[in-house]
Amino acid sequence: MGGYGMKGFFGKLLRINLTTRSYIVEEIPEEILKTYLGGKGLGSYLLLENVRTGIDPLSEDNKLIFVAGPATGTGMWGSSRYGVYSKSPQTGLYGESYSGGKVAPLMRKTGYDAIILEGAADVPLSLEISDCKVEFRNANHLWGKDTFETEDRVLEEVGVPEAQAIVIGPAGENLVRFACIENNYWRSAGRTGMGAVMGSKKVKAIVFHGQAQAEVADPELLKDLIKSLTAKAKGNVGVKAYQTYGTTQMVKTMNCAETFPTKYWSKGIYENWKELSGDTLLAEHEVKPNACPTCFLACGKLTTVSKGIYSGLKVEGPEYETIYAFGGLCCIGDLAEILHLNDLCDRLGMDTITAGNLVAFTMEAVLRGKVEANLSYGDALGVADLLVDIAKVRGLGVILSQGIKPAAKVWDLEDIAIHVKGLEPSGYDPRVLKGMGLAYATSTRGACHLRATFYKAELSGMIDPAITQGKAEMFIDFENRLTLFNAQILCVFYRDMILWPELRQLVKALTGWDYTQPELEEIANRIVTLTKVFNLREGATREQDTLPKRMFREPLNEGRDVITVEELDFMLDEYYKLRGWDSQGRPPVILY
């Protein structure tokens, strides 16, 4: 039962101090949950409230905040996800990341709406968090182990059959700025370096279990929604595509649209893309569905490599983003090689999007004579060696482990480096998909495709990718809806099934709060604004809401596709205005 008889929430926050190895439970006022709706709203609110301006993200002053949403563990489709929030060591700004797999329901069963880690331990620790207690265990023997072994051993040590764990690998321990948090071997809270923050606090793993259950306000209404979504999915072509290919379906789509970033963002089509496609994956390797609990889309594909030197290697993936980053950007036209690199990143605990971008950037640096290394486009073995060097912070990995901005500065290649606010984009080129340009530029966590998944609108004919008129308005509609997905927390791949009416129904069923669509839009605007305020407080300005210079200077696809500074400015002006911010992107105080 939630505090104050609240439905959908526990009304409780667990605050763990790692320095003193102590913890306290605090109440979360109902008003805060009504205002921010949990998940991303609650995580961002707590981040703003608890992290002082100007702190070093890898110091003990930073906080690491975990949140499972009000939808988690209720049986709602696509609800097996947790969010993690912190000041990002990769961008120095607002950091957030989400992961699927089996952890979120167990995180929720501990009985807290949010868990804050603060301070830092003096020796490596693993934590066991349940609805009864928090245990601090020495994890010296796990330090240096990869994520798979760590997960196995830490679960064995806790010995509770239903428990689930999140872990970091060597990259997180070594404070690689784009280290991620992993669970269930292959699921990652991948972006913005949350694994490095966990490493800086010397927390190697956290195990969750418990029996707590937040009361659902209207179980019948929730049941109706689940049933109607099940019916909607029957015979749906989009659902079938996810079930068959997962995100690998995007390899074909993006190459046909000439927006598959290739050879470090110099081309929009990869000539060997068919070798990387979903059809090739299914034809040449053994592929089985591996869905998160309560999911009928089942985008996760457990692949066993069927031939060659990696025969027998088992990986959940590769995701489209990993294929684009290692396949397209590094010109590696072999899925088995990409699966091997995927496996390495998972075990080391590194984000594949940033890793692929950094390696391709290094290939370009070598070509331009800025760096001496035996590495060229297509060299999969060279990539594997460099990934290990990055995780171990040795050789070229010393500078690359700091992220793209420091590496570009040291190598005098700032003009060619592709990133926004220090975070590399995913596999959608904004010279073709101009709305993705707006998405990358305005995203408070750096170039992000998931905040609105606006590529969907541009690729499916909802709006012409080449125009800028009216784009900000449609983009905000997408961003608002998906911000509320992250407030519940739902998988964004359900975006075509859960529209505004279904979202309203879900919030009402879970919490009893009968918000109108405009009221929900206002809450989403408030959440987006919170994340913006975090960045403004850190000194961010309109100048950072931009795209890499090459997007403006280098047309793509034989000169056909480019985005101009004026086009981005036009969309940016509209976006700020519709959000209620001033021309510099500054919100009035009343919005948050």
Q: Which residues of this protein are in contact with ligand SF4, per CB under 6 A?
A: 78, 80, 100, 291-292, 295, 297-300, 491, 493
Q: How far is the CB of 183 from ligand SF4 (least distance, A)?
A: 12
The CA-atom distances, in angstroms, between 195 and each of 180, 302, 316, 352 are 4, 24, 20, 13
Q: How far is the CB of 536 from ligand SF4 (least distance, A)?
A: 32
Nearer to ligand SF4, 154 or 291 (CB): 291
Nearer to ligand SF4, 300 or 333 (CB): 300
- For residue 292, what is the DSSP state? P
Distance CA 442, CA 534 (A): 14
Q: How far is the CB of 161 from ligand SF4 (least distance, A)?
A: 22
Nearer to ligand SF4, 57 or 78 (CB): 78
Burial of 557 per CB tally in 10 Å (0-12, 13-18, 19+): middle
Nearer to ligand SF4, 139 or 299 (CB): 299
Is the CB of residue 238 less than 8 Å from the CB of residue 302?
no
- For residue 216, what is the DSSP state? P
Is the CB of residue 118 less than 8 Å from the CB of residue 17?
yes
Q: How far is the CB of 67 from ligand SF4 (least distance, A)?
A: 17
Q: How far is the CB of 473 from ligand SF4 (least distance, A)?
A: 27
Nearer to ligand SF4, 107 or 358 (CB): 107
Structural element, H or E, at residue 188 = strand 187-189
Angle value at C-alpha 567, between 563 and 570, nearest 5 degrees:
155
Q: How far is the CB of 299 from ligand SF4 (least distance, A)?
A: 3
Q: How far is the CB of 493 from ligand SF4 (least distance, A)?
A: 4
Nearer to ligand SF4, 143 or 296 (CB): 296
Is the CB of residue 264 less than 8 Å from the CB of residue 378?
no
Q: At what angle do helices 335-348 and 147-158 cross, to 10 degrees?
A: 50
Nearer to ligand SF4, 33 or 292 (CB): 292
Residue 285 tokens read as 């390797």
Q: How far is the CB of 489 from ligand SF4 (least distance, A)?
A: 10
What is the side-by-side order of every strand in the sheet holding 314-316?
Answer: 286-289, 301-304, 314-316
The dihedral through the CA atoms of 362, 366, 367, 368 has a sign that is positive
Peptide bond into 465 cis (omega under 30): no
Nearer to ligand SF4, 273 or 494 (CB): 494
Which residue(s) pair with 95 in the sheet?
86
